[in-house]
Structure 1
Amino acid sequence: MKKQFWTQILFVCIRVYSCFGQNSLEYYSKINEAELAILDSNYSKSCSYYRDAFKINNSSFAKDYYNAAIVAAYVKDTNLIIHCFSQLARKGVCLSYLKKQHSWSLFKENYDLSYFEKIQFQKFREDYLKSTNFYLKRKLDNIYETNQDILLKNYPDSHQRHINNINELDSLIRVFGFPSEELIGVGDSLEVSPMYLYSIYNLDTQGYKNNIFFDLLKKATIHGKIHPGVSSFYLSLLNPLFELEKTAVYKIVTSDTLIMSQDDYKSKINKWVYPIYPENYLQKINKNRQEIGWEDFLTYQRKVIYNLKNNNFIFSLNGGLSTYQCDTEYVAQKYLNNVQIIENTK
């Protein structure tokens, strides 16, 4: 029985590992260059990098298509805009979501998208409805809902219920492969982390199948099944020794009654700040980040700071920008030590 179980796990690992061959790290590198060009306002160069990246991976991440569409609007590349929008529709992103974004006005200023809205988007949306594994999607939604129900109601057998839930997720991955955007889409928006991942790790089942899910999630990240910005949070939870440092920018919010005794800390309350880490720590986390294809921390931090001031683009995923509530001076000082205020932000 054990032999059969590990054979199945190995089969899943092979499926995940072989999905994009050796090209996913190259893909991540091209996307990083494209995003850095955006930070430098070199949209033509960014557009070129995005095109190169999309040649490497025919089913890229939704956030990359979204950013590329904005870049294409700046350089008036209609074909790339339509291509990116069509891919977003094929991943399940709703037109209503796109219209709510700040960037939509940029598209409307330069192009008449009425035909795309009325005809083309609906056609691509139908592709999503045909190609998406909704059975798997519903099963994953049920796993998340069950996880939340257990946490809220605190059943006498909560521990066993959690284990059963995790086992079901394990079984689904063994049958269908890792639930990538290509397999289940992204839902109605781009920023939401896949909910089923919350059930992998919780306080009631710490350590249960952590190694199995860590290996699967890591391989899935390296080979383009899930974005590093999404998986990083769970990778560090499943294996605390695999540090990646997710939060690049944060704000400390305190109660009105809390009085900070030192002016240096007081000036940083309710302000966006970024942490300054020692070089040896940066080297440690950057080694791990490089392993999964993620940009180095300072580059990532630079992108998050840019995103704070210009939210047309999507750079920060799943916690890169955070707000912490601190009700004691000691905790607030701990967070506000060795940080720099980001000027001209709210």
Structure 2
Amino acid sequence: MFKRLSLVFLFCFLSLLGYTQKENPRKYFNNVNKAELAIIDSNYQGACEYYKKAFKYLNEPFGKDIHNFLLAGLYANDTLALQMCYPKFVERKYKYIAYTNDRFKLSPYLQYLFENSNIKPKIDTMFVKLIDSLVKEDQTVRKGSHTGNDLFNIDSINMKCLVDYMNNNHVFIDENIIGNNRNCPFQDSYCWLILWHYSRTADNIKNPVNLNFKEKVIQGKLRPEYYAVLCDFNQYSFNGSWSEIRYGTDTKLLKNKNNDIRASIPDYTKDRRKLNKERKKIYLCSYEDYLKKLEYERKNMEFTFKNELEKTSYFKFINAMSLQILQDEE
């Protein structure tokens, strides 16, 4: 039965691929945002429909979206959603066991798809080994007693190795190339440890490397949340200069003399129109929708809308304060 059902839906899936349109990252992220808002409303079938539209506009969707799409498909009993998601799990060597449990009606069918797949992984194992070695070296230096110059030097060396490999092999840090941390679709790659440290010290490196992060976001090669968080938290534009542009992910909470935390919120949270204009340029949802997602994810751990940098205790604290401010304004 599963085999016959698999062939039917595989035909439907291939037919859908036949009508795949030219890549359009803006339409991809717009539909993903609508899907995530549908999830917040517990409209899982509606979310699946938006994800189906989104996946037509990007050949390599992002891990968190694959995770959310698959989970919504299981809740909605949408077999086509499973058909569209499982190939990416196999290609990127994601672990799938967490999705095949008894509480989902279609779990046996999903298990069947994974166990009978003839799809080959596409992970660049050499690239992954390089990243792992750079991260190991990076963390070894930081665990010891070293000077600031030692840290700057290791950041510079690691970035040069990383960029040289990408240039020589014509690859970027795409999730479909390097997978994700712990082989989980919604976890960040170890590669981000290198980028995080580089972004915080790039102004101290004599020859800063321009990774063209914003360009990669516009091309749909890099999640805009990554770019926004790194820019906001580090206040760095990644091209050798400091940037005044903010995306609303780094609300600074510095108490004034009266210990009034809310008085220290930056002006951009008050100028919501300007903030949303900047967010829209890199395909981010509105600040209001962003806060809705923060509140939902704080209470619901299954679906994920953010990246790992936003899940630290620091970001949880400032985002909670931002939510309170928005509620007070209403």
* TM-score where L is the length of structure 1: 0.69
Partner residue in 2 for 1:146: 137
How much is the aligned-residue C-alpha RMSD, in angstroms? 3.7
Partner residue in 2 for 1:224: 220
Distance 1:197 1:229, change over 3 A: same
Partner residue in 1 for 2:192: 197
Q: State the alpha-carbon separation in 2 of the partners of residues 68 and 335 from structure 1.
A: 25
Distance 1:58 1:278, change over 3 A: closer
Report how far residue 295 of structure 1 moved. 0.8
Distance 1:149 1:49, change over 3 A: same
- Larger RCO, structures 1/2 (Cα 8 Å, 6+ apart): 1
Distance 1:335 1:191, change over 3 A: closer
Q: Is the 8 A contact 2:31 2:53 kept in 1?
A: yes
Aligned-residue identity in percent: 21
Q: Note the 1:179-328 alignment, pairs <5 A.
A: 179-187=173-181, 188-200=183-195, 201=198, 205-208=202-205, 210=208, 212-213=210-211, 216-236=212-232, 237=234, 238-239=236-237, 240-246=243-249, 280-324=270-314
Q: State the alpha-carbon separation in 1 of the partners of residues 202 and 244 from structure 2.
A: 18
Equivalent residue of 2:185, what SS?
coil
Q: How many residues align?
A: 287
Partner residue in 2 for 1:95: 96
Q: State the alpha-carbon separation in 1 of the partners of residues 116 and 228 from structure 2.
A: 34
Per-residue CA distance 1:38-80 (angstroms, 9 max, x = gap): 2223333222111111111232112112211222223321231
Report how far residue 336 of structure 1 moved. 8.8
Distance 1:335 1:69, change over 3 A: closer
Q: Is the 8 A contact 2:89 2:96 kept in 1?
A: no
Q: State the alpha-carbon separation in 2 of the partners of residues 125 and 230 from structure 1.
A: 33
Per-residue CA distance 1:117-159 (angstroms, 9 max, x = gap): 3x5324559622xx21110111112222222222223456614
Q: Note the 1:120-139 alignment, pairs <5 A.
A: 120-122=113-115, 124=117, 127-128=120-121, 131-139=122-130
Structure 2 residue runs without a partner (length 5+): 1-20, 238-242
Q: State the alpha-carbon separation in 1 of the partners of residues 276 and 104 from structure 2.
A: 40
Per-residue CA distance 1:15-53 (angstroms, 9 max, x = gap): xxxxx9761111101111111122223333222111111
Partner residue in 1 for 2:166: 173
Partner residue in 2 for 1:164: 157
AA in 2 matched with 1:206:
D
Per-residue CA distance 1:151-209 (angstroms, 9 max, x = gap): 22345661433322221112122123212012122241134322223323265543535
The answer on 1:111 being equivalent to 2:98 is no
Greater CA drift, 227-236 or 167-176: 227-236
AA in 2 matched with 1:78:
T
Partner residue in 2 for 1:75: 76
Q: State the alpha-carbon separation in 1 of the partners of residues 192 and 91 from structure 2.
A: 22
Structure 1 residue runs without a partner (length 5+): 1-19, 251-260, 269-274, 326-331
